[in-house]
Structures are given as structure tokens and as C-alpha cells.
Amino acid sequence: MLEKTQNSPVSRKPQRVVALAYDRLWPLEFGIAVEIFGWARPEIIGVPWYDFTVAGPVEPIRTIGGMTMQPPHGYDAVAGADTIIVPAWRDIYERPPQDMLDAVRAAYEAGARVVSYCTGAFVLANAGLLDGRKATTHWRDLPELKRQFPKIEIVEDVLYVDEGDVITSAGSSAAVDCSLHIIRQDYGAEMANTIARSLVTPPHRDGGQSQYVEAPYQERAGQSVSGVLDWARERLGEPLTISELAEEAGMSERTFLRRFREGTGVTPLKWLRRERVFRAMGLLEKTELSLIDVSAQSGFGSVETFRAAFREIAGTPPHAYRKRFELSA
């Protein structure tokens, strides 16, 4: 059996990623783009990373909080980009500058993948890129996005929406989830996990925005579902049951189901299904195991069940996913 060394790269030319900047920029979302796509982390990754740059007005700009920045390039620098990152837009009731909209649309029409963080969706909507598509933004601004752009198919309770060449994400922290999703597409699950560990964040958060709309969930002293998640991840190849998970958490099944849903936004079975697919992704990237073995080691009862779950979550059949990360001899 051949096996890749950890984080060995898929052979490709580094993608050119351009993050947009503008006056009264929200530094958090912009910083996420810089941190994830602009820092090569050579001591961790050891592979060619994204070719990252920033495009914005030719004059210095201010950020929320009083900092001043000078983008190194004008908006014409988005031409030739493979991916464009649009951070949160400063005012959802203000139409973005026409030169920025024109640049984004021209790059999209030339084949670029366009990504929005939070209210950056309003930039994409004003550029006409979201009509007839599914999209999301921060839960607080979803009604206004729907009002201003009725042709968009609003998706409310998600962290991000992937429409292929257009990806929109929810509130600030969802920008991290969206970015890890992009890395998972470009470099594979193992690399996304590595970056997640570097950021000290989960490689994938289940659930949607609704779990954040109300008051934050408070766990009782001595009772937590977080420990059960790590416990279950170490046993994904086993036929785990709700009763076993509840016993590990020290709760009744009824209490465990309620608290798991409150804490993660999904049911335990849905969470397990997704985690098993992520485990299968890593096996497909790193080994030449048969699909029967990958299915078994990931905890699926049959290859048919595995194929269906993988296609639903990964968006592609297992064999096609493996082909993207072909093993080298």
C-alpha cells in the first residue's frame, strides 16, 4: 500500500488570491483572508501556498478602529485572479464603488472564483453575481439582502453556501469555516485539518447560524458534549450508538440529544455522518485502500451508504475525489 507523507501537496501552480480592501474596512474579516491565504506557514505546510495580494483604492484607506492602510495595488489587480475574497462591506445600504464592482464582475466572467465574507455578499449582489443563485450573509442582514435583491435564493441557517464559482459565508467567524472549505477543495482534507490546528479551530463546524441568534448556550458544570466529540472521532470506524454517546457524556439519551443539538446545531447521527466522510476524505487522499476498506474504516455499514453520504457532503463521488489527489509512485 502506498501512502503519502503528511501534507504532501497536489502538484499544481499556486492559485492567485486577491483580497479586496476599501475605506472603512472591517479589519477582522480582512485579517482572516490575510492570515489564511496570505501566510505561507512554511514550517507547518512545506508546500507552495497561495499567491496572495491585496487590491483597493489608490489612496490610503481607513479601517474601523482608526488604522490607516495603503493597498499595494488598485482594483485592476483582480484581473487574472483565480480567487477573489470580498470581506464584510462597510454599509449594506450603500452601493459599492463602480470601479470595484466592474473589476469583480470582469474577473468572475474571466473564470475567477468569487468569495464573500459576511456582508461582502452585498458587494457580489450589487455586481449582479448572485441573481438566481443560493447565497447567505450574516443572519441579522438576511432580510435586507432579500429585500434589496429578490432574485437571490436566500439560505438562512448555514455557515456558508458553495455555488461552485461563487461562495458566500455568514458572520465573521464563518469566514474561517468558509476559508477552510476552500482549502479542503484546493489542497484536500488533511491540509485543511493542518490549517485548522494552526488556527486552533475545528476543521469543520456543523450546524448553522440559528444556534447563534439566541442567547449563547451554557453548559452545566460537569456535563459537556465537547468531550464526546473527541471521544467519537477516535472511534469513527466503530458502530457508535446514541446510547453509547450519552453514556460517555454522563447523560440520559433524552438530555444528551437535546444538549447535543443545542451545542452543535445538528443531531448526533448527522454529525457522525459528516465526520465519517471527512475521515474517508483523508483515507482517499493518503492511501490506495479500496472503497470497501475506506467505507469500513470510516464506519459506514455498506459501500452504497458510503457512496451516497460522500457524494452528498463532498459534492463528488469517492473515486472522483481520489483522482483529484492522485498518489504518486
pLDDT for residue 150: 96
Q: Residue 73 has what DSSP assignment?
A: B
Superfamily of domain 16-199 in CATH is Class I glutamine amidotransferase (GATase) domain (3.40.50.880)
CATH 1.10.1660.10 fits 222-329, yes or no: no
Q: Is 281 helix (H, G, I), strand (E, B) or coil?
A: helix
**Segment (H or E) for 20:** strand 16-20
Domain residue extents for the chain? 16-199, 222-329
Mark residue 66 as left, alpha or beta (left: phi above 0; alpha: psi -120 to 50; beta: remaining): left
pLDDT for residue 303: 93
Backbone torsions φ then ψ of 304, nearest 5 degrees: -65, -45
pLDDT for residue 10: 43
pLDDT for residue 218: 36
Q: Is 177 helix (H, G, I), strand (E, B) or coil?
A: helix
Sign of CA dihedral 229, 240, 159, 252: negative
Is 222-329 the same fold as 16-199?
no
Q: For the whole prediction, is pTM greater than 0.95?
A: no
- Give CA separation, 72 vs 60, 141, 184, in Å: 10, 31, 28
Q: Tell me which residue has cell 474601523.
A: 64
pLDDT for residue 326: 66
Among candidate residues 198, 264, 181, 253, the one with its CA nearest the CA of residue 229: 264
Amino acid at 77: A
Q: Please list the ranges in the chain whose pLDDT falls under 50.
A: 1-12, 210-223, 327-329
pLDDT for residue 314: 81
Q: Which segments of 46-195 are extended strands (E)?
A: 51-55, 61-62, 68-69, 83-86, 113-116, 134-135, 153-154, 160-162, 166-169
- In whole angstroms, what is the distance from residue 139 CA to residue 3 CA? 43
Q: Is 53 helix (H, G, I), strand (E, B) or coil?
A: strand
